[in-house]
Amino acid sequence: MNTQGWLQLIGGVVLGAGLVSVASRLFKAMTVSIDDRQVALVTVFGRFTEKLSRPGLHVLPMKLFPWVEVTHVSKARDYRSYKGIHVNDSRGTTMLVDLWVELHIVDSVKSQFAVTNWDEALESVVAHAAISILGKSDFQQVLQDRQELGERLRADIAREAERWGLVIDSAFIQQIELLPEVAQQLSTAIAARLERATAEIEATGRLEVAQLEADTSKEVATLVAQARAQYPLEVGAALGEVKKTPPVLAAYLELYELSQLRPQRTVAFRGFEGAQALRSAEAAMLQAPDEPVPPVR
């Protein structure tokens, strides 16, 4: 093969490759590929004309024109995270709230044409709902009722999002923070409250201890008084037994009189053995009877 033949062959190959490339690009420009998790919206001069929802490859020759545009809209479940929403609670405490919202598109036409940008509109609705709902509770209630408040947020956001073809699957409070100066004030208030509670507990404890000591002293005094009341009775019973033996009683009275005359002297009492035995100190405390006793002979 001569040189001219080679040149024609190469030229044919290049031309064929160019035609294949052009044909491939032309086919790609005329077709729309859709999977099962999305739809395609066709607009002409910015006006909606057709929705392609069947999964697969669709041939759309009019797509070659520059004024025809195809927009793919996902139907898959999606989420949005909104951080740092400033909310004042019912007591005026400023909170920084992070919200998590899960959603999916059910009406692709509304999501594209009912609102200019549903992402921005949804962010505004979420912020307004957070301020409106969370602002009616104080900080402690928000911490305790996060699940219930999240459901109320979801219901409030869903009413607005429905106009844009969106369904709000869930919404919950992801995180709650306080401004540094507010957190410092809150910590100081909590510390003061704990200190006051500690002081009240200590004061209550001291009062209870004092009351317990008073009750114990009263009970002990009652028991001592009862014991002292029994003492004269027992001594009287012992004297009654002594009276049965006049010589012994006379000796006891004589010793008792001597002990009163010379109290510095030690007097020993004898003759009180047995079941009715008395110690010398007990015997010394006895009072002499009023009636005279005949002397011992």
Backbone angles phi, psi at 156, to 5 degrees: -70, -40
Cβ-contact 150, 171 below 8 angstroms:
yes
Task: Set out the domains of the chain in order of their start, with CATH numbers.
Answer: 26-74 (no CATH), 78-182 (3.30.479.30), 226-297 (no CATH)
Q: Taking 80 as the threshold, does the pLDDT of residue 133 lie above it?
A: yes
As a whole number of angstroms, the longest Cα–Cα distance in the chain is 182
Q: Does the structure show a pLDDT above 50 at 296?
A: no
pLDDT at 297: 44
**Residue 169 burial (CB < 10 Å; 0-12/13-18/19+)?**
middle
Using CA atoms, how far apart are residues 41 and 49, in angstroms rounded to an integer? Answer: 8
Where on the phi/psi map is residue 177: left (φ > 0), alpha (ψ -120 to 50), or beta?
beta
SS3 state at 117: coil
Determine the average pLDDT of the residues in 149-172.
Answer: 91
Q: pLDDT category, 11, cuts 50, 70, 90?
A: low
Instruction: Name the pLDDT band for 81 (thresholds 50, 70, 90).
Output: very high
pTM score above 0.75: no
Among 4-13, 111-120, 183-192, 226-235, name the most confident range.
111-120
277: left (phi over 0), alpha (psi -120 to 50) or beta: beta
Going by the DSSP 8-state scheme, the letter that residue 97 receives in this structure is E
Residue spans of beta strands (DSSP E) within 5-121:
31-34, 38-44, 47-52, 56-59, 68-74, 78-88, 94-105
For the chain, state the CA radius of gyration. 53
Provide mean pLDDT across the span 12-33.
70
| Residue that has been written with the tokens 């729309």 in this structure | 32
Tokens of 122: 């949804």
Buried b (16+ CB within 10 A) or exposed e, 28-67: eeeebebeeebbbbbbeeeeeeeebeeeeebebeebeeee
**Range scoring the smallest mean pLDDT among 19-23, 58-62, 125-129, 180-184:** 19-23
| pLDDT at position 233 | 79
Please tell me the least confidently modeled range out of 42-46, 122-126, 161-165, 180-184: 180-184
Q: What is the DSSP annotation of 232-267?
A: HHHHHHHHHHHHTSHHHHHHHHHHHHHHHH-TTS--
With a cut of 80, say whether residue 208 has pLDDT above it: yes
For residue 137, how many C-alpha atoms fall within 13 Å in the half-sphere facing its CB? 16
Predicted local confidence at residue 264, as pLDDT: 59
- Residues 214-239: tens digit of each pLDDT: 999 889 888 888 877 787 777 778 87
Examine the pLDDT at 295 and tell me if it is beyond 60.
Answer: no
- Residue 125 near residue 160 (C-beta atoms within 8 A): yes
CB 178 within 8 A of CB 95: yes
Structure confidence by residue, pLDDT tens digits, 1-10: 566 666 666 6
Residue 110 pLDDT more than 80? yes
Rounded mean pLDDT of 70-94?
A: 87
Which span out of 2-11, 40-49, 87-96, 158-167 was modeled with the highest average pLDDT? 158-167
Q: Tell me what pLDDT residue 226 has.
A: 82
